[in-house]
Each structure stands twice: as C-alpha cells, then as structure tokens.
C-alpha cells in the first residue's frame, strides 16, 4: 500500500477510520499524523514501516465510493430522518406513540409546556384527564429534540409499576428503571448509572437514598400526585415534614408537578418552591 496525505484509512487506531494529515519516515519507523473521521480528534502515531500493509485504504478526502453496506446506509438514513422529524411534524411525539390524545392534552404540551425555556409547571387537572399522557408526550418531545437525557419520575408507591409498564413502556416505548429498596441495595450507583428512573415518594425520602439523589444531576423531574407530598396531621402526629423538603434538589432541572384539580391538600408554599 502506498500511503499519502489525504487518504482515509482503517486499522491505524482501533476506534475509527482516520484522515492522514502528515507522514514522516524515520529509518524503519513511520510517523503518521491523523484526524479521526468521527471524533475529529488529532494525534500522531509511530508504526513500523513493515506494518503499513496492515492499513486498509477506504477512500481519499473529497472522493466518494459506493462500496458500503446498503442495509447499514438505509438504517443510518432512517435514523437521521427520525432524528430530525420533529422539525417538520409539529406533533411528532403524538404520531410515534400509542396514544390518542384529547385536544386539551395537546394544547397543554405544545402550547404551554414546550415553548418554555425552563419548565416550572404545575399541572392541576381532574382525575382521568390524562396528566400521564401529557407527561409522556412532553418527555418524548424533549428527548427527540435532544433537550434532556436524565429523567427522574417521582410517584406514590402504588403507581410506580403502572408508570413504568402501562404508561412509559407501553404507550411511549421508553424503558424506565424502577428503583426501590432492593434495587438500590444491590446497586448503590443506580441513580447515577441509569438515565431514566421511576421511584416512589416515600422511598426517596430515606436519608441514604436522598443523599445519593441530591448529588446526581437531572434534566427533568416529574412529581406525580404532588398533593401527597404535603405534610399532614394524623391524630397528634405530623406526617411527614420531610416529604415537602426532600425534593428541593430539583431546583436546577426542568420540573413538572402533577396534582389533582385545584391542588386539593397540596402545600402551596411547597409548590412555589419548585416552580420559582
């Protein structure tokens, strides 16, 4: 193989093809300065002159060939089409999810939520109005647009599996990790290593869990049935002030709070803390 500047070659480094920028010969060694085709990172590598035959010439800069795998090219083209589809389809998340949203749900997501530069929103609606559908549409639109990556959904304990299986997976094809005490004890780094998490209000208030979550960055935090976060009196006992305080770590993320219509029972000071 004859090596020259401007060629695109494989096998010089294991991670990607490179463009040859400069070649220098030193007795039985060759110094090759290159730039990664994908990463655009530049570096230099010394190789024995005899190993030049192990390099594979793909093309030269500015030249094109049609020797690639057509199936992989089609897959790439389809991925690019889906990745940019939201720019041409104003209801893209609706059209690629298994939902049939009502007009008020579409209006809430596309007219009020998505245009916000920083989401601080209290979604107070009647039971059965589809707050989870609105949440799912918002999550899908923001993910498809590359606006968020790490998502934490906080729900009452009895609704975690419903959110995971019936809402996020079945309707929107998102696989969320359900984190409970057993999952946390088997992997204490689960909040850091998982990008999409569903957990319960009462599990999250435990000190060892809360300390980990506080040190983890989130792009979007959803609090479902937020009226159940409020402290309340049960006889002579107050249950539980920490329910209000334990989500203060959400200050820097997009925040969506869902509650029953008029927020019956919700601590309004707590809501102001999150949405301001």
Model pLDDT for residues 101-134, shown as the tens digit of each residue: 999 999 999 999 999 999 988 888 888 888 999 9
158 part of a folded domain: yes
Q: Is the pLDDT of residue 165 over 90?
A: yes
Tell me how far apart the alpha carbons of residues 276 and 269 are, in angstroms, rounded to a whole number.
11
Q: Is the pLDDT of residue 77 over 60?
A: yes
Residue 50: give the domain boundaries.
7-60
**pTM of the entire structure?**
0.67
Q: Do 30 and 88 fall within a single domain?
A: no
1 part of a folded domain: no
Q: Do 33 and 154 fall within a single domain?
A: no
- What total of structural domains would you count in the chain? 2
Tell me how far apart the alpha carbons of residues 134 and 24 are, in angstroms, rounded to a whole number.
60
Q: Do 241 and 171 fall within a single domain?
A: yes
Which residue, 189, 92, 179, 74, is CA-closest to 143? Answer: 92
Q: Which residues contact 249 (CB under 8 A, 6 or more apart)?
A: 210, 213, 214
Which residue, 214, 224, 82, 219, is CA-closest to 139? Answer: 219
Please, what is the end-to-end C-alpha distance for the chain in angstroms?
A: 65
Tell me how far apart the alpha carbons of residues 188 and 212 are, in angstroms, rounded to a whole number.
8
Average pLDDT, the chain: 83
């Amino acid at each position: 193989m004859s090596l020259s500047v401007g060629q695109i070659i494989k096998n010089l480094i294991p991670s990607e093809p490179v463009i040859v920028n400069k070649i220098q010969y030193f007795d039985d060694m060759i110094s090759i300065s290159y730039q990664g085709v994908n990463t655009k990172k530049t570096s230099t590598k010394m190789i024995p002159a005899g190993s030049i035959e192990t390099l594979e010439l793909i093309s030269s800069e500015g030249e094109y060939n049609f020797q690639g795998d057509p199936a992989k090219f089609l897959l790439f083209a389809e991925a690019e089409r889906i990745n940019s589809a939201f720019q041409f389809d104003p209801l893209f998340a609706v059209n690629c999810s298994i939902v049939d949203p009502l007009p008020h749900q579409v209006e809430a997501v596309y007219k009020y939520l998505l245009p916000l530069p920083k989401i601080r929103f209290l979604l107070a609606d009647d039971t059965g109005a589809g707050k989870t559908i609105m949440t799912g549409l918002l999550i899908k639109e923001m993910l498809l647009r590359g606006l968020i990556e790490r998502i934490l959904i906080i729900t009452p304990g009895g609704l975690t599996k419903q959110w995971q299986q019936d809402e996020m997976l079945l309707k929107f094809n998102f696989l969320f990790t359900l984190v409970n005490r057993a999952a946390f004890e088997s992997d204490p780094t689960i909040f850091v290593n998982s990008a999409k998490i569903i957990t319960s209000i009462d599990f999250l208030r435990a000190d060892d869990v809360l300390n980990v979550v506080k040190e983890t960055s989130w792009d979007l935090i959803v609090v479902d049935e937020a009226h159940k976060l409020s402290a309340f009196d049960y006889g002579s006992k107050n249950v539980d002030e920490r329910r209000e305080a334990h989500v203060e770590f959400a200050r820097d993320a997009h925040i969506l709070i869902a509650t029953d219509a008029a927020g019956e029972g919700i601590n309004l000071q707590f809501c102001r803390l999150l949405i301001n």
